[in-house]
Amino acid sequence: MLSLLFAAHDRLVPPERRAGLRSLYERASYYGSRLRLGEDRFSEVEVETNTGCNRKCRICPRHKHEREEGLMSEALYGRLLDQLVAIGFRGRLSPVFYNEPLLDERLPALMRAARARLPHSLIVVFTNGSLLTRERILELVDAGVDTLLVSQYTQNLKADEGPYQRAVRDLPKRTMRHIRYRTLGDADPLSTSGGLVPVAKPVTRSRCMQASLSAVVDFKGNVLLCCNDYNATHTFGNIADEDLSTIWKKPDFQKLRKELRHGEFRLDICKRCASGEVMRPVNADATAPDPARPGRPGR
Ligand SMILES: C[S@@+](CC[C@H](N)C(=O)[O-])C[C@H]1O[C@@H](n2cnc3c(N)ncnc32)[C@H](O)[C@@H]1O
Ligand code: SF4
Ligand code: SF4
Q: How far apart are CA 165 and CA 242, in angstroms?
A: 44
Q: Which of 117, 105, 181 is nearest to 144 (CA)?
A: 117
Determine phi and psi for 86, rounding to 5 degrees: -60, -30
User: How many other β-carbons are positioned within 10 Å of the β-carbon of residue 257?
Assistant: 22
Determine the atom of ligand 1 nearest the C-alpha atom of 150: 9
Determine phi and psi for 220, rounding to 5 degrees: -95, -5
What tens digit of pLDDT does each residue of 225-261 get? 999 999 999 999 999 999 999 999 999 999 999 999 9
pLDDT bracket for residue 142 (50, 70, 90): very high
Q: Which of 224, 219, 218, 220 is nearest to 248 (CA)?
A: 224
Q: Is 182 helix (H, G, I), strand (E, B) or coil?
A: strand
Burial 174-206 (b: 16+ CB within 10 A, else e): ebebbbbbebbbbbbbbbbbbbbbbbbbbbebe
Inter-CA distances, 124 with 28, 147, 227, Å:
20, 5, 15
pLDDT of residue 282: 45
Q: Which of 218, 295, 282, 294 is nearest to 58 (CA)?
A: 282
Cβ of 126 closer than 6 Å to ligand 1, yes or no, is: yes
Specify the higher pLDDT residue, 116 or 19.
116
Q: Which of 212, 205, 224, 214 is nearest to 258 (CA)?
A: 212
CA of residue 218 to ligand 3 center, whole Å? 16
Determine the atom of ligand 2 nearest the C-alpha atom of 130: 3
Q: Where are the alpha helices (DSSP H) in 118-202?
A: 134-143, 157-168, 173-176
CA of residue 116 to ligand 3 center, whole Å? 32
Cβ of 183 closer than 6 Å to ligand 1, yes or no, is: no
Q: Which ligand is nearest to the CA of 185?
A: 1
Ligand 2 pocket test target in 46, 48, 50, 53 with most atoms within 8 Å of CB: 53
Is there a contact between 76 and 108 (Cβ–Cβ < 8 Å)?
no
Cβ of 191 closer than 6 Å to ligand 1, yes or no, is: yes
AA identity, residue 150: V
Q: Which ligand is nearest to the CA of 55?
A: 2
Determine the atom of ligand 1 nearest the C-alpha atom of 184: 25
Q: Which ligand is nearest to the CA of 155?
A: 2
What tens digit of pLDDT does each residue of 174-190 get? 999 999 999 998 888 89
pLDDT bracket for residue 2 (50, 70, 90): very low
pTM for the whole thing? 0.89
Q: Which of 2, 18, 20, 19 is nearest to 10 (CA)?
A: 18
